[in-house]
Amino acid sequence: MADTMKWVMNHMPKTEDKNLPIMSVEEVKKARTFHQSFPQYKETPLTKLPKMAAYFGLGSLFVKDESYRFGLNAFKVLGGSYSMAKYIAKETGKDVSELPYDVLTSDKLHDEFGTATFFTATDGNHGRGVAWAANKLRQNAVVHMPKGTTQTRLENIRKLGAKVDILDLNYDDCVRQAAKEASETPRGVIVQDTAWDGYEEIPSWIMQGYGTMAMEAAQQLNEQGIDRPTHVFVQAGVGSLAGAVVGFFSNLYKDNPPVFVVVEAEAAACLYKGAAAGDGKPRIVDGDMQTIMAGLACGEPNTISWDILKNHVKMFVAAPDWVAAQGMRMLGAPIKGDPAITSGESGAAPFGALSVLMTSDDCADVRKELGLDETANVLVFSTEGDTDPQRYKNIVWKGLDK
């Protein structure tokens, strides 16, 4: 019998919520305006699944499909690109609104700013976003990847001109290595998609960059006649993305926020572990964190996000690999009449968790507690497509575990 999916309701003590303004509507608007200046910019689809909603017994169900983001198959580039622009703006004494894409890539700005080296650690998607942005902005990028990363993900980064390698370290130790090298390199900058004590400015810009995706989704829901989602399901590795999404929607729907559910890979469920401990202090997961959800294999929470999540999330889920695999298969082969969505291992985790909650007899009580019924309008984030195409085929076509 496969491991069962676990969840815990959030009963952690609330704080003064000092990080919520990072994800204010005004800040996210700035990020979105920046992204809109890119020639590659196009809103990613918000796909409606009416048949699946009926099958689950929900009012409506929408999936934000990030496989279409900038041709990079994942949402992550939103954070890397915005944080690099904010950094360059700060260094050159400008506001980011003065640096749309054509200015940022101009010879004039290049002469003014020169060349920095942006360091990062990544399971794949963030590093690809940083490498892509560095390439467009004529900057250097150095990317370290944890052991277990696939060669395909490495090649995708190398193709963009970054210096990239796989280290014999887990993700969190790769982060420490990248930060150390950046501090020892002239004009070295660490652009990491997580925060820790003393390293908060760049990660907060990264989170604001992710806000573009949430802001698009809110607007697209309105266009489809939905005032606001009643429930939002989002995945977490370090929790930057979840903090961004939860923070933005908590600001946007201040008086009536949705019910937020955060889904992690069981092998790396640091937020779930912290919520289960219940005292409000973060917890860490270490070791190799074996999971097919490569993007979620991070064991140390983002300190900025943790505070936002503690104050606003209703439930934390620790999902075994089969939950993500089930999500991938159901999105790839939905009920006839609904459109198919290509969603990778980390991308499909929230949808997989929703499918378990809505179809398992053991979940009747939790469905009731969350209000997941025919009055619910549910928004789910699919944050990547088939970023590792071979693994995607193995799972979805061949029915393998990985």
Ligand X SMILES: Cc1ncc(COP(=O)(O)O)c(C=O)c1O
> From the list 78, 133, 263, 296, which residue makes contact with ligand X (rule: CB under 6 A)?
296
Number of residues counted as binding ligand X (CB under 6 A): 21
Query: Which segment (131-139, 195-203, 240-248, 315-323) binds ligand X by CB under 6 A?
Result: 240-248
> From the list 44, 139, 208, 240, which residue makes contact with ligand X (rule: CB under 6 A)?
240
Which positions are catalytic?
A: 76, 123
Query: Which segment (3-11, 25-33, 34-42, 238-246) binds ligand X by CB under 6 A?
Result: 238-246
> From the list 30, 126, 231, 391, which residue makes contact with ligand X (rule: CB under 6 A)?
126
Query: Which segment (39-47, 80-88, 104-112, 239-247) binds ligand X by CB under 6 A?
Result: 239-247
Q: Is 238 in the site for ligand X (CB under 6 A)?
A: yes
Query: Is the Cβ–Cβ distance between 386 and 66 less than 8 Å?
Result: no
Q: Is 386 in the site for ligand X (CB under 6 A)?
A: no
Q: Is 247 in the site for ligand X (CB under 6 A)?
A: no
**Minimum CB–partner distance for residue 255 and ligand X (Å):** 27
Q: Closest residue (Cβ) to ligand X?
A: 295
Nearer to ligand X, 99 or 131 (CB): 131
Enumerate the β-bridge partners of residue 263: 235, 317
State the Cα–Cα distance between residues 52 and 60, nearest whole angstrom. 9
Query: Is the Cβ–Cβ distance between 68 and 42 less than 8 Å?
Result: yes
Query: Which segment (236-244, 353-361, 362-370, 389-397) binds ligand X by CB under 6 A?
Result: 236-244
Nearer to ligand X, 109 or 261 (CB): 261
**Minimum CB–partner distance for residue 160 and ligand X (Å):** 16
> From the list 8, 84, 175, 241, which residue makes contact with ligand X (rule: CB under 6 A)?
241
Q: 339-368 burial by CB neighbour count: b if 16+ within 10 A, else e?
A: eebbbbbbbbbbbbbbbbbbeeeebeebbe
Q: Which phi-psi region, left, alpha or beta, contains residue 339 (left: φ > 0; alpha: ψ -120 to 50)?
A: beta
**Minimum CB–partner distance for residue 243 and ligand X (Å):** 8
Please give the helix or strand (H or E) that residue 178 lies within, else none.
Answer: helix 171-184
Name every residue whose Cβ is closer than 8 Å to that of residue 3 and which is 6 or more positions away in sequence: 266, 320, 322
Name every residue whose Cβ is closer than 8 Å to that of residue 278 and which is 6 or more positions away in sequence: 11, 12
Q: What are the tokens at 144?
A: 């370290």
Q: Among residues 270, 237, 210, which one has the least CA distance to residue 35?
A: 210
- Strand 117-121 to strand 60-65: parallel, antiparallel, or no bridges (unpaired)? unpaired
Q: Is 123 in the site for ligand X (CB under 6 A)?
A: yes
Query: Which segment (104-112, 140-148, 229-237, 249-257) binds ligand X by CB under 6 A?
Result: 229-237
Give the footprint of ligand X on residues 173-202 (CB under 6 A): 193
Nearer to ligand X, 99 or 207 (CB): 207
Give the chain's largest Cα–Cα span.
Answer: 63
State the Cα–Cα distance between residues 224 and 48, nearest whole angstrom. 9
Nearer to ligand X, 193 or 321 (CB): 193
Cα radius of gyration (the chain): 20
Chain residues that interact with ligand X, rule: CB under 6 A: 74, 76, 123, 125-126, 193, 235-242, 295-296, 298, 346-347, 383-384
